[in-house]
Structure formats: C-alpha cells, structure tokens
C-alpha cells in the first residue's frame, strides 16, 4: 500500500490562540525502551507500507516483498557496523540586538544524519547498493534482536523518508584495520515522532534478496 509521505523541512507550528489547558502528555505508567544497536537497514520506494504491524511480523510478508519484481520491492542492506542516528540541531534566528532580550527565535530543526560502515564486504554487492542513490527511499531499522524500528502511522507499518543517500567507495586503511564503505543519509525533522519498536523476530537479520 502506498501513501503520500513528502520529504519537506519541518517548521515549528504553534496553535494560536493557545488551548485552554496544556495537552495531556504522560497518560499511563511509562514503559521505557531502548532500540539498541542498528545492525541492518531495509529500503523500499517512498510511500510503501504494510497494512499492520502484525502482518509485518510475518516472515511470509517479507519473503514476498524481497522477491517482488514491482514497485513494492524491499531491499535489505549488508550488516552495518557503527550505525547511529544523531538528532538534528535546532534551527534558530537571531542573537544579540536582532531579537528581544537577545534570545534566538526557534524555527525548527535540522535533518538528523545516519552514518554507518559496511565492513569487509564484496564490492559487487556494494556497487548494487549504490544504485539506490538515484531512488526516493524510505528506511526501516533492524536491531540485534531482530526488532524493526518503524514508523507507525494510523496503525500502518511504514518506513522513514530519507534524503541524501550515499554509499562511499572502498576505504583500504592498511595493516591494522579492515576494508570498509561508509553509508550515510538524512532523516527529516520530526522523523522520530512516529518511531516504534516491534516485537523480536527470528528472521529479520537473515533477510536477503
């Protein structure tokens, strides 16, 4: 199923006039979560989705998507080392006498960069991964437990829109290190507002095309 997930800059939008009361935030006992180590990525074309999380946890669903010869094809990455997402810095205007009391005006946030390394991988596979640089993509994260880090929008299992997808040429660092290719992309501001972690699976880390 496809949606309309545009990749546009996020601007801080405030309700005017303000509501009568502050919105509810913590409405139940918190369940703390931590995604852990990003070990694989799954890419598909912008706007694809799976109808429900329950369906996304079925290996048969991914078997079909990985083998697809149409627009809904999913492509898993090689294993990723050192993968991390760094939250975007605030975007702000003014300082000193430009603004009241010298306090900058907050207008949004920058994109959040992802960076990781593909270690010791054959370059024929990396060359195919580079071809995705010409596509408009969504990404889904997979951690060491085979859990998906996905976007929950109205109960649908979606990926996160990315831009600036880049896979580097091979780095040959010599005797004391290993060959590697860098992989990088940017996530739009506000990307994590719909971030959810699925139950663990026994197949996600083994997915291949």
First to last CA, the chain: 20
- Within 10 Å of residue 179's Cβ, how many Cβ atoms? 14
Gap between the Cα atoms of 139 and 116, Å rounded: 14
- Within 10 Å of residue 151's Cβ, how many Cβ atoms? 21
Q: What angle do CA 41, 151, 50 make, to 5 degrees?
A: 85
Query: Any residues with CB less than 8 A from the CB of 34 and at least 6 apart, and which?
Result: none
pLDDT of residue 9: 46
pLDDT of residue 3: 43
170 confidence band (pLDDT: 50, 70, 90): very high
- Global pTM reads 0.89
Burial 58-93 (b: 16+ CB within 10 A, else e): eeebbeebeeeeeebbbbbbbbbeebebeebeebee
Using the predicted structure, report yes or no on whether residue 190 has a pLDDT greater than 50: yes
pLDDT (mean) for 18-23: 87
Mean pLDDT of the chain: 93
DSSP state of 121: -
Taking the alpha carbons of 33, 39, 40, 41 in that order, is the dihedral positive or negative? positive
- Domain borders along the chain are 38-206
pLDDT tens for each residue of 48-82: 999 999 999 999 999 999 999 999 999 999 999 99
164 confidence band (pLDDT: 50, 70, 90): very high
């Amino acid at each position: 199923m496809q949606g309309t997930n545009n990749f546009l800059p996020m601007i801080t939008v405030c309700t005017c006039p303000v509501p009568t009361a502050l919105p509810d935030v913590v409405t139940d006992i918190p369940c703390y979560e931590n995604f852990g180590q990003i070990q694989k990525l799954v890419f598909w074309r912008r706007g694809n989705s799976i109808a429900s999380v329950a369906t996304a946890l079925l290996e048969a669903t991914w078997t079909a998507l990985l083998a697809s010869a149409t627009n809904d094809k999913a492509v898993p990455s090689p294993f990723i080392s050192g993968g991390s997402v760094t939250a975007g810095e605030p975007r702000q205007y003014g300082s000193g006498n430009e603004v009241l009391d010298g306090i900058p005006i907050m207008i949004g946030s920058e994109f959040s960069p992802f960076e990781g390394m593909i270690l010791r991988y054959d370059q024929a596979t990396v060359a195919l991964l580079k071809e995705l640089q010409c596509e408009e993509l969504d990404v889904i994260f997979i951690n060491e437990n085979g859990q998906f880090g996905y976007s929950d929008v109205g109960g649908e299992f979606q990926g996160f829109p990315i831009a600036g997808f880049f896979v580097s040429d091979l780095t040959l660092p010599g005797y004391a290190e290993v060959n590697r290719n860098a992989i990088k992309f940017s996530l739009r501001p506000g990307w994590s507002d719909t971030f959810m972690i699925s139950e663990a699976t026994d197949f996600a880390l083994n997915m291949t095309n």
